[in-house]
Structures are given as structure tokens and as C-alpha cells.
């Protein structure tokens, strides 16, 4: 069996009404003042408002920044870091979906970097300036309000560079939250598109980790269960947005889809799609995922066979046939939720690309993402142009 390391942070509190435990956890940490980072819509959610009331009743002071927009930028994170230092808070709370949580993670770590930052990308996973000893100046608590990003568990934040016009992974081991409180009640009634995109992001996390370079006995068991839950419960949540069981199942799957896998390989390409063509992240992930399966057909044949069995597909002796069957199942699944292929999406957006022009734009952005270095077979070595073009061509020509 393959060796693995299981992360110990963050502490996890999961379950309906678990958000009510936030104040007690703050008291345990002897917190006197919080800086809350959220979005305009979610800060007005009834559960968010109850949290603010609980803080007031407990005499815990707080400042709120509620203007985090999708795909947080380097400029925003640097601004938030300054605000954190100015507020003299002793805790930061990221409240919202992936964007507020990533912004909270990045900003809190930046607040602990004692040097002038001109280009945050230099401190990213493919940069040269991040130091492993830099730490946050205070505890970080994350409270997800969607089911999809799993940002409450990860040791990086996905940030958009306004200088380089791409998404990049930022952080070191100290960016990971101290505590995550996951209350499925936050997600009840979530809009249809947000539900779909979040569910497909979860599916991509779990599937990419299942076949990826960091897969192991622990992650494989968890990832298969997450995939099973998404395939069953996402269509139900889309049709019945107030179905509590569906929301609980998707919340559990979302959180655990990044429980320990660490490297959702296909996201290197999904981030490039999002940066270049402004596709919603969950949609981009869905377009990439079938071709991640095809690429890993030989190196992850056993895991893909397990996927085929989970999907009730016929098993073949040829691993590439199994991979293609799973890939086509995934295409049919995202289409059943109303999503369209890349070329259909480009047509709707009036984007004009050829195979070659698409690949030429994608390749440098893909290579900037550290996850592109974790593919098997590798796509970043030797004639990387041909290797990455093959993956891009499969996505571009999916029917």
C-alpha cells in the first residue's frame, strides 16, 4: 500500500446548526475581536445575521468586509491584509463560498508577511518569494455557505492576478484554517446554477484526486464515496432546492472531496479556462474532467475501473476503453444538468477559436499552475506543447 500523510488541520465541526457553535469556539480561543470577510449576498443570510447577533450578545467585537466578489484578486487580498492589521483583530472569519474563504486565507497570511509586496504572483506556488516560516498573525476560522469549493480544508488560496491575467495558487502550510464550521443549513435553497456548479466542482475534486498522483488507500475510499453522493444527490438538489437530505449529502461530499487528496490535477486546466474565457469554475471543471480520465487511463486503471463499477458501466480488459466509457458518462451527466460543451459555450459567448488558437492561449496559463506538474504521464516535460495540446484538443472537440 502507498504511504500517505493525513493532515490534522483544520479542526472540523460539521452538521446542521453547527454554526451556533462559533461563539463558543471563539471563547475557547479567548477572542475579543473578529474581522469577518464575506460577500454582499451571504452577509444578509439569516444564519449570518444570527451569527452577528451571537457575537454581539457575547460581547465579541467585530468588523465586517462584505464586498468580496467572485474570483478574488491580488489587489483585493492585499487591501484586506492591510485592513486586518489596522483592525487589530485577534481572529479572522471567512464566511461564504470559495471566493470569500480564499480571500480570507490569502489576506490573513499576507498580513503576516513582513515585507512590501509588489506582485503577489511572485509568492504563489510557482513563484520564488514565499517563505515556509511566514505565519498568520491570528487564528483563521472558515464557515462555508456553499457545497463545492472545499476551500475550508485546503492549504492554498486561488487568486486572480491583475498583472498577469491568470489564476494562481497562493500560500504555504500556514495558510490552512485552524477551524472549519460546516453547516449544511446554509446551503438549503441555494440557487440552481450555484448548486450545479458547486456539485460539479466537488465531483471534479474527488475524481481528480482519485486518479491523481497523491491518491492512496485513504483518499480512494473517501473519493469514491464523495463521487457516489454527488452522482445521486446533485440532480435531486437541483430539482428540490429545499431538500435537506440532499443538501447534507452534498455538503459532506464537498468537504471530504479534498479531505487529503491534495492535488486536483485537472484544475490546472480549469483555472486556465476560467482566466481566459471567464467560464464559471464548476463549468470549467466539468469540461476538463472527462479528459482527465482519458489522460490517466493507464496510470490509474484500477481507480477508473472502480469508477466504472460505481457508474454501472460494463468493464473491458482495455483500460482506455474503460476510461472513455467513464468520460462519456461524465459528459452525459453534466449535460443532464443543463451544461454545454466547450464549443457550444463558445458559440453562446460569441468566442471564435480554432484547435490551434485555443491550445496556444491555454498552454502558458496551464504551465503557470503548479498542478500541471503533477500529471501522469507528465504534460509539462519534453515536448509539452504536443502533450498539452492533446488534452486541449480533447476538450475542444468533445461532443
pLDDT (tens digit per residue) in 222-232: 999 999 999 99
Question: Grid coordinates standing for 68?
Answer: 468580496
* Residue among 191, 14, 170 at smallest CA distance from 105: 170
In degrees, rounded to 5, the angle at the alpha carbon of residue 98 between the alpha carbons of residues 93 and 101 is 20
pLDDT score for 216 = 87
Alpha helices in the chain (DSSP H): 22-28, 46-57, 74-87, 98-110, 192-211, 217-239, 244-256, 267-277, 281-295, 301-310, 319-336, 342-349, 355-368, 384-396
Tens digit of pLDDT at every position of the chain (399 positions)? 777 777 767 999 999 999 999 999 999 999 999 999 999 999 999 999 999 999 999 999 999 999 999 999 999 999 999 999 999 999 999 999 999 999 999 999 999 999 999 999 999 999 999 999 999 999 999 999 999 989 998 889 999 999 999 999 999 999 999 999 999 999 999 999 999 999 999 999 999 999 998 888 888 999 999 999 999 999 999 999 999 999 999 999 999 998 666 678 899 999 999 999 999 999 999 999 999 999 999 999 999 999 999 999 999 999 999 999 999 999 999 999 999 999 999 999 999 999 999 999 999 999 999 999 999 999 999 999 999 999 999 999 999
Q: How far apart, in whole angstroms, are the C-alpha atoms of residue 340 and residue 352?
A: 16
CA nearest to 141, candidates 27, 6, 258, 261: 27
**pTM to 2 decimals?**
0.95
* pLDDT 10s digits, 312-359: 999 999 999 999 999 999 999 999 999 999 999 999 999 999 999 999
Predicted pLDDT at 264? 83
Helix, strand, coil percentages (3-state) for the chain, rounded to 5, are 55, 10, 35
Select from 305, 288, 291, 345 the least CA-distant residue to 224. 305
Cα–chain center distance at 67: 20
pLDDT of residue 2: 76
Peptide bond into 10 cis (omega under 30): yes
* CA distances for 207 relative to 18, 118, 221, 246, angstroms: 28, 37, 12, 20
Q: What is the pLDDT of residue 262?
A: 65
Amino acid at each position: 500500500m502507498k504511504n500517505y500523510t493525513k493532515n490534522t488541520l483544520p479542526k472540523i465541526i460539521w452538521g446542521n446548526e453547527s454554526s451556533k457553535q462559533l461563539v463558543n469556539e471563539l471563547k475557547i480561543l479567548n477572542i475579543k475581536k473578529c474581522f469577518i470577510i464575506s460577500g454582499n449576498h451571504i452577509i444578509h443570510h439569516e444564519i449570518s445575521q444570527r451569527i452577528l447577533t451571537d457575537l454581539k450578545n457575547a460581547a465579541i467585537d467585530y468588523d465586517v468586509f462584505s464586498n468580496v466578489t467572485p474570483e478574488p484578486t491580488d489587489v483585493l487580498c492585499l487591501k484586506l491584509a492591510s485592513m486586518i492589521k489596522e483592525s487589530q483583530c485577534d481572529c479572522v472569519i471567512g464566511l461564504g463560498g470559495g471566493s470569500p474563504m480564499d480571500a480570507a486565507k490569502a489576506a490573513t497570511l499576507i498580513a503576516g508577511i513582513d515585507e512590501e509586496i509588489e506582485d503577489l504572483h511572485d509568492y504563489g506556488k510557482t513563484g520564488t518569494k514565499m517563505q515556509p516560516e511566514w505565519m498568520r498573525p491570528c487564528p483563521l476560522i472558515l464557515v462555508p455557505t456553499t457545497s463545492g469549493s472545499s476551500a475550508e480544508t485546503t492549504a492554498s488560496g486561488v487568486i486572480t492576478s491583475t498583472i498577469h491575467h491568470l489564476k494562481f495558487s497562493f500560500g504555504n502550510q500556514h495558510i490552512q484554517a485552524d477551524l472549519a464550521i460546516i453547516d449544511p443549513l446554509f446551503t438549503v435553497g441555494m440557487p440552481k446554477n450555484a448548486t450545479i456548479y458547486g456539485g460539479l466542482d466537488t465531483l471534479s475534486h474527488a475524481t481528480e484526486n482519485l486518479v491523481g498522483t497523491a491518491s492512496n488507500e485513504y483518499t480512494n475510499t473517501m473519493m469514491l464515496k464523495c463521487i457516489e453522493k454527488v452522482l445521486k444527490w446533485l440532480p435531486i438538489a437541483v430539482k428540490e432546492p429545499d431538500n435537506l437530505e440532499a443538501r447534507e449529502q452534498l455538503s459532506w461530499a464537498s468537504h471530504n472531496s479534498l479531505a487529503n487528496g491534495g492535488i486536483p490535477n485537472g484544475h490546472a486546466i480549469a483555472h486556465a479556462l476560467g482566466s481566459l474565457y471567464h467560464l464559471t469554475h464548476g463549468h470549467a471543471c466539468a469540461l476538463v474532467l472527462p479528459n482527465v480520465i482519458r489522460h490517466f487511463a493507464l496510470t490509474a486503471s484500477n481507480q477508473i475501473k472502480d469508477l466504472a463499477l460505481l457508474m454501472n458501466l460494463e468493464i473491458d480488459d482495455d483500460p482506455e476503453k474503460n476510461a472513455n466509457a467513464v468520460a462519456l458518462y461524465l459528459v452525459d451527466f453534466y449535460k443532464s444538468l443543463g451544461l454545454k460543451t466547450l464549443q457550444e459555450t463558445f458559440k453562446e459567448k460569441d468566442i471564435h477559436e480554432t484547435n490551434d488558437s485555443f491550445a496556444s492561449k491555454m498552454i502558458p496559463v496551464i504551465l503557470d499552475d503548479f498542478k500541471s506538474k503533477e500529471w501522469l504521464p507528465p504534460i509539462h516535460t519534453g515536448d509539452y506543447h504536443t502533450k498539452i495540446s492533446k488534452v486541449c484538443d480533447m476538450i475542444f472537440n468533445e461532443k
